[in-house]
Amino acid sequence: MPNGEFVVTPWQVDGVIDYDKLIKRFGTQRIDPAMRKKIVEAAGQDHFMLRRGVFFSHRDMGGIIDLHKKSKPFFVYTGRGPSGATHIGHLVPWIFAKWLQDRFGVNVYFQLTDDEKFFSKKGLSLDDTMGLARENALDFVALGFDPAKTKIVIDTQDIARLYPIAAQIAKRINFSNTKAVFGFGGETNIGMIFYTAIQSAMCYIEDAPVLIPLGVDQDPHFRLTRDVAPLLKKPKPALIHNMMMPPLHGGGGKMSSSESNSAIFTTDSPGDVKRKINKHAFSGGRPDIDEHRRLGGNPDIDIAYQYLRMFFEPDDAKLEEIRADYASGRMLTGELKAILIERVNEYLAAHQEARERARDHLDEYGLGP
Ligand code: TYM
């Protein structure tokens, strides 16, 4: 990517994302202090990912909060395209979905798009993506969703429920629309071209307005859904977008399943985590210790610090102490990385236990054997 340029689509994130520019490009709204206050007041609690701007943008979030204030129902929907192991970035919107369920008592739907990843990934068979869907479901269930209020949908298994809605949507999106939004060309397989109707269909799985927490790369699908909603006489889906966790090696792009050294996977061992962070995490430190002590590190570009800020250190006071120590040069890169390694391994130990327990509970979320 030439300097300053970036691409964000559901299938490609490249370059260093300028989120202000992205908000303009996509036509979304920034979560400003007034909107944040509105969400926090309605929820009765703050969330560090909201406070720190990890969730930075939205569409019609105000409308959802207004509905809630009038005691009208809404539901939450999010998803995963099973292309490999789950990484920490995937968990961001799911953790927020769980918080929304806890705070607003809402139903949550989780879509596993095994069809999509079969269409979009050269090296994956349909059997592969169907198998990965169940593995990825474990990470979602491990977060503790209420089984009475949560349903997991796998596209190839639950298509009978989705198809009548998808057909209504597909009839109202023409090829020029999808081409303009996704950049498809003559070589694109027709599964990909139709697929957006399947991801959109979930917005109408319940007869109530939907709120979708999601990484901002998925926004283009729902731009199309929002365009067709009035034609279907349905409400437009509301969205709340999170930033993309950067890859371990820094630079552009995102933490990605298909690049194993860019990501911390939920199934990584303590040794994997230590090796990856020590070897690959981009450092905002100085080239030698003397200079570092004198000038301090730069937390803004330091991946270990950014992972703590975005995910692993919810306590503001502790985070600020780490930032101040690092920026002043009191803390060295190796020490900062050691803190991250410890936090990640604590988190993953608990997650992996919950993930294994989830194997016996998938049926409670509507998954067949
Ligand atoms: P997928 O599997 O690419 O990603 C699942 C969710 O994780 C988000 N995400 C990230 N967030 C932060 N940092 C990252 N590095 C990162 N990488 C991925 C994605 O934005 C997504 O929210 N087509 C979808 C599956 C899907 C879906 C949905 C997603 C179906 N319906 C509704 C969101 C909402 C997909 O392939 O996601």
- As a whole number of angstroms, the distance between CA 83 and CA 128 comes to 8
72 lies in a domain?
yes
Q: Tell me which residue range forms the domain holding 106.
A: 7-243
Residues 191 and 328 in one domain: no
The enclosing domain of 287 has a CATH number of 1.10.240.10
Q: Using alpha carbons only, give the angle 58, 61, 44 rounded to the nearest 5 degrees.
A: 115
* CA-based nearest residue to 63, from 218, 203, 237: 237
Q: How many domains does the chain have?
A: 2
Three-class SS of residue 26?
A: helix
* pTM for the full predicted model: 0.98
Ligand 1 contacts CB of residue 257 (under 6 A): no
Residues 53 and 145 in one domain: yes
Sheet with 238-242, strands from edge to edge, namely 29-30, 55-59, 238-242, 210-215, 75-80, 108-112, 150-154
Residues 196 and 335 in one domain: no
256 lies in a domain?
no
Residues 336 and 237 in one domain: no
Q: Let me know: does 47 contact 316? Beta carbons within 8 Å.
A: no
> Among the atoms of ligand 1, which is closest to the Cα of residue 217?
20
Residues 280 and 165 in one domain: no
Residues 283 and 202 in one domain: no
- pLDDT the model gives residue 369: 79
157 lies in a domain?
yes
- As a whole number of angstroms, the distance between CA 78 and CA 169 comes to 18
The token pair that represents 92 in the structure block: 């961001």
Q: What are phi and psi of 87, to 5 degrees?
A: -115, 175
Give residues with Cβ within 8 angstroms of 186, minimum separation 6. Answer: none
- As a whole number of angstroms, the distance between CA 136 and CA 149 comes to 19
Q: Please report, in tens digits, the pLDDT of each residue of the chain (369 residues total).
A: 788 899 999 989 999 999 999 999 999 999 999 999 999 999 999 999 999 999 999 999 999 999 999 999 999 999 999 999 999 999 999 999 999 999 999 999 999 999 999 999 999 999 999 999 999 999 999 999 999 999 999 999 999 999 999 999 999 999 999 999 999 999 999 999 999 999 999 999 999 999 999 999 999 999 999 999 999 999 999 999 999 999 999 988 999 988 888 999 999 999 999 999 999 999 999 999 999 999 999 999 999 999 999 999 999 999 999 999 999 999 999 999 999 999 999 999 999 999 999 999 999 999 977
What stretches of 183-243 show up as alpha helix (H) in DSSP?
190-201, 219-232
- As a whole number of angstroms, the distance between CA 97 and CA 100 comes to 5
Residues 211 and 124 in one domain: yes
Q: Let me know: does 237 contact 214? Beta carbons within 8 Å.
A: no
Three-class SS of residue 202?
A: helix
Tell whether the torsion through CA atoms of 190, 192, 194 and 198 is positive or negative.
positive
Which of 94, 196, 218 has most ligand 1 atoms within 8 Å of its beta carbon, as the pocket-test mutant? 218
Residues 302 and 239 in one domain: no
Q: Let me know: does 117 contact 86? Beta carbons within 8 Å.
A: no
Which of 57, 88, 90, 212 has most ligand 1 atoms within 8 Å of its beta carbon, as the pocket-test mutant? 90
Ligand 1 contacts CB of residue 116 (under 6 A): yes
Q: What are phi and psi of 265, to 5 degrees?
A: -90, 155
The token pair that represents 116 in the structure block: 């999509």
Residues 204 and 177 in one domain: yes
251 lies in a domain?
no
Residues 172 and 300 in one domain: no
Strand partners, 8: 13
Strand partners, 228: none
